[in-house]
Amino acid sequence: MLSPRPEKLKLLPVIALAAATAALGACGDNGSADLTKGKQLFTQKCGACHVLQNAGTKGVQGPNLDLAFQKSVQDGLGRSTIKGVVKEQIALPQGGVMPAKLVTGADADDVAAYVAEAIGKKGGGATGGGPSGTAKANAQNVVDIPTDPTGQLAYQFKSASAKAGKVTLESKNDASVPHNIALQGGPSGPVVQGGKTSKITANLKPGTYTFYCAVPGHEQAGMKGTLTVK
C-alpha cells in the first residue's frame, strides 16, 4: 500500500517521522476498526503488489511491508502511529504510481489498522488457509480448480491431475477480486468474479503443465499450480 517501487523503501523512515505526530493525534488505537475486513480488503486490493506475511500475499511490484516497517517496530514506533502512516499513504501515495484512495472511509481505516497490527506477524485464520490437496478430473475429464473464496490470490488447489486427451479446466470465482484460469503456452479463460466461472479446454499429451491466473500480478503473487496429465 506504500510506494510500488522497491527503491522507495528508503523513504519510509522519513515518511514515518513526518507523519508520526499527526498520526498519533489522529488515529489513537484501533478502536472500532474491523481487522478481519481490513485483511480481506488488503488481500484483494494490495496483495498483487505487496508482500505481507500475515496476509499470505507475495506481490513483487511494491515494497515488502514486513521489512519496510521492521526497524520502526524494533525501535518502538507504536502500531497506532504506523496505522496513521499507512492511512496517509492510502490517501496520498508516494511516487505517483499507486492510485490514490484504493479504499476510502471506514475501509481505509480497517486496512490501515490491519496492516499496522499484521506487520512482522505470521498468518492467522482471518482469511482461511492456503491451497491444499490435488484437484482430480471427473469422468468427463473436467477439473474443478476454484479460486480462494475470500479473495486471496490463490486457487483452492496447488496441483491437479487429468487424463491425456481433451482436458477442461474450470475455475469458479466467488470473490469480488477478478481472476481467470490459463495454461502456460495454451488457452486463457475469461476473467470473472462474483460467482462466475472461467473455463478453458485443450488437447493435452502426458506431461506436466502450469495453470495460472493471467490477471497482471496474480501469477507473480503465487496464483499458479501444476497440472499432471497421464
User: Which residues lie closer than 8 Å to 230 by C-beta, 6 or more apart?
Assistant: 161, 162, 163, 164, 206
Q: Which residue did the predictor score with more confidence, 21 or 66? A: 66
128 in any annotated domain: no
96 in any annotated domain: yes
Q: Which residue did the predictor score with more confidence, 86 or 18? A: 86
Q: Is this model's pTM higher than 0.85 or not?
A: no
Per-residue pLDDT tens over the stretch 85-110: 889 888 888 765 677 778 889 999 99
**How many other CB atoms are found less than 10 A from the CB of residue 179?**
26
Alpha-carbon span 61 to 49, nearest angstrom: 5
Q: 155 and 208 in one domain?
A: yes
Q: 147 and 97 in one domain?
A: no
Q: 190 and 156 in one domain?
A: yes
**Torsion-angle region of residue 56: left (phi > 0), alpha (psi -120 to 50) or beta?**
left
Q: Which residue did the predictor score with more confidence, 189 or 63? A: 189
How many domains does the chain contain in total? 2
How far is the CA of 124 from the CAs of 10, 83, 133, 148, 223, in angstroms? Answer: 29, 19, 20, 16, 19
162 in any annotated domain: yes
Q: 151 and 87 in one domain?
A: no
pLDDT at 54 over 80: yes
Q: Which residue did the predictor score with more confidence, 11 or 102? A: 102
Phi and psi at 48, nearest 5°, equal -70, -15
Residue-level pLDDT at 155: 93
Q: 149 and 103 in one domain?
A: no
Taking residues 120-141, what's their average pLDDT? 71
Are 225 and 131 contacting, i.e. CB atoms less than 8 angstroms apart?
A: yes
Taking residues 51-68, what's their average pLDDT? 81
Taking residues 154-175, what's their average pLDDT? 95
Instruction: Give the domain range for residue 154.
Output: 134-229
The CATH number given to whatever domain includes residue 193 is 2.60.40.420
